[in-house]
C-alpha cells in the first residue's frame, strides 16, 4: 500500500511540473508550429489550437478577357480526283466467276495504262467472292466476285475518258468520284484562310471595343480549326460503254478551305 501511494505521489508531481511548463511557455497568437510543439503526421493542428488560416485567391489579379471567333473561307478549284470502279462477275462455278473477273480486270487495267495511268496511280480497294445462297432450295446457286480499284487522277480532263475506257474494257461498276485538292494547294489555301480569319476577328474586336470603350492590350490564347471538303459524286452500278456515245461528262465545282480562329484578348 505504501509503495502504491509513493507511485501516485511521483506521478502527481510530474504532471504538475509538465502543466506548469506548458502554462509558462504558452503565448497567445502563436501557432502550434511556432511554439515548437509538433503533432504527428496525419493529426490536424486544430486539435491543439483554435487559430486557423484560410487561403483565397486574389480575384483582383484575374485578367479581363474578350473572346472573339473569326472565320476565313477560301474558294478553290479542285485539282485532283479519285475514281473508284471495278468488275462484277457471277457464275454457278466459283472458279469460272473468279477467272472471268480476273480477265476483265486485266483488260480494264491495260486500258487505263493506255491513257497514261501507272501502277502508282491505281490500287485495289476491295476484292471478294460471295456465294449466292437460295434459301428455298437450301443450296448455293452461284458465286459473285467483285474487284474494285481506285484511280488517282491529277489531270481532271482525263476523268471522263478514264471511265469510258475502263467501261469499254469490261468495268461494270463505277462506285464514286470524289474531288479534292493537292497537299501543296491545300497548304497555300490554308494560309490564305488564316489571313481572312484574322481579319474577320480583328473587324469584330474593333467594333466591340470601340462600342464598349475598352482597350485590347494583348492576346491570352488562340485556338484554331480547319476544314477541307471533298465533293463526292456517286453513280449507279451500270456499264458505261463509250461505243456510239459521247464521252462521259464530269463537272468540277469549287471547293472551300475554311479556318476558324477562337481568340481570347486581354483587355483593360
Tell me, yes or no, whether 170 lies in a domain: yes
Residues with Cβ < 8 Å from 242, sequence gap 6 or more?
Answer: 164, 165, 167, 168, 248
Helix (H) or strand (E) holding 159: helix 159-169
Q: Do 92 and 184 meet the contact criterion of CB atoms below 8 Å apart?
A: no
Cα distances from 138 to residues 22, 75, 95, 135, 208, in angstroms, run 99, 57, 21, 5, 74
Tell me, yes or no, whether 257 lies in a domain: no
- Count of the separate structural domains present in the chain: 1
pLDDT in tens, 47-101: 333 333 333 444 567 899 999 999 999 999 889 999 999 999 999 999 999 999 9
Q: Do 89 and 148 meet the contact criterion of CB atoms below 8 Å apart?
A: no
Q: What is the pLDDT along the chain (268 residues), one digit of tens a residue?
A: 555 555 555 555 655 655 555 555 555 544 444 444 443 444 343 433 333 333 344 456 789 999 999 999 999 988 999 999 999 999 999 999 999 999 999 999 999 999 999 999 999 999 999 999 999 988 999 999 999 999 999 999 999 999 999 999 999 999 999 999 888 998 999 999 999 999 999 999 999 999 999 999 999 999 999 887 766 665 544 444 444 455 677 777 788 899 999 999 999 9
Q: In degrees rounded to 5, what are phi and psi of residue 237?
A: -75, 95
Tell me, yes or no, whether 158 lies in a domain: yes
Tell me, yes or no, whether 268 lies in a domain: no
Count CA atoms closer than 13 A to 52's CA, side-chain side.
6
Tell me, yes or no, whether 22 lies in a domain: no
pLDDT in tens, 121-130: 999 999 999 9
Q: Do 110 and 117 meet the contact criterion of CB atoms below 8 Å apart?
A: no
Tell me, yes or no, whether 105 lies in a domain: yes
Q: 142 is in which domain, residue-wise?
A: 81-180
Tell me, yes or no, whether 142 lies in a domain: yes
Tell me, yes or no, whether 95 lies in a domain: yes
- 0.75 surpassed by pTM: no
pLDDT value for 57: 41
pLDDT value for 205: 96
Q: Could you tell me the CATH number of the domain that includes residue 147?
A: 3.30.70.2970
Residues with Cβ < 8 Å from 98, sequence gap 6 or more?
Answer: 89, 129, 143, 145
Amino acid at each position: 500500500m505504501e509503495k502504491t501511494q509513493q507511485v501516485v505521489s511521483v506521478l502527481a508531481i510530474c504532471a504538475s511540473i509538465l502543466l506548469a511548463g506548458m502554462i509558462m511557455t504558452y503565448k497567445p497568437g502563436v501557432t502550434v508550429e511556432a511554439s515548437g510543439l509538433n503533432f504527428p503526421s496525419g493529426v490536424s493542428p486544430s486539435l491543439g489550437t483554435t487559430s486557423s488560416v484560410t487561403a483565397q485567391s486574389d480575384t483582383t489579379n484575374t485578367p479581363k478577357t474578350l473572346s472573339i471567333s473569326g472565320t476565313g473561307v477560301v474558294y478553290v478549284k479542285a485539282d485532283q480526283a479519285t475514281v473508284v470502279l471495278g468488275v462484277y462477275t457471277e457464275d454457278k462455278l466459283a472458279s469460272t466467276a473468279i477467272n472471268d473477273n480476273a480477265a476483265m480486270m486485266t483488260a480494264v487495267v491495260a486500258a487505263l495504262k493506255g491513257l497514261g495511268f501507272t501502277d502508282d496511280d491505281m490500287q485495289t480497294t476491295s476484292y471478294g467472292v460471295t456465294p449466292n445462297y437460295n434459301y428455298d432450295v437450301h443450296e448455293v446457286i452461284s458465286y459473285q466476285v467483285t474487284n474494285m480499284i481506285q484511280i488517282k487522277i491529277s489531270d481532271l480532263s482525263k476523268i471522263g475518258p478514264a471511265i469510258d475506257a475502263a467501261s469499254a474494257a469490261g468495268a461494270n461498276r463505277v462506285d464514286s468520284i470524289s474531288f479534292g485538292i493537292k497537299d501543296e494547294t491545300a497548304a497555300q489555301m490554308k494560309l490564305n484562310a488564316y489571313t481572312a480569319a484574322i481579319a474577320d476577328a480583328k473587324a469584330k474586336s474593333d467594333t466591340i471595343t470601340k462600342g464598349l470603350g475598352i482597350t485590347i492590350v494583348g492576346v491570352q490564347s488562340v485556338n484554331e480549326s480547319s476544314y477541307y471538303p471533298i465533293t463526292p459524286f456517286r453513280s449507279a452500278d451500270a456499264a458505261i460503254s463509250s461505243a456510239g456515245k459521247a464521252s462521259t461528262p464530269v463537272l468540277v465545282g469549287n471547293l472551300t478551305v475554311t479556318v476558324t480562329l477562337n481568340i481570347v484578348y486581354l483587355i483593360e
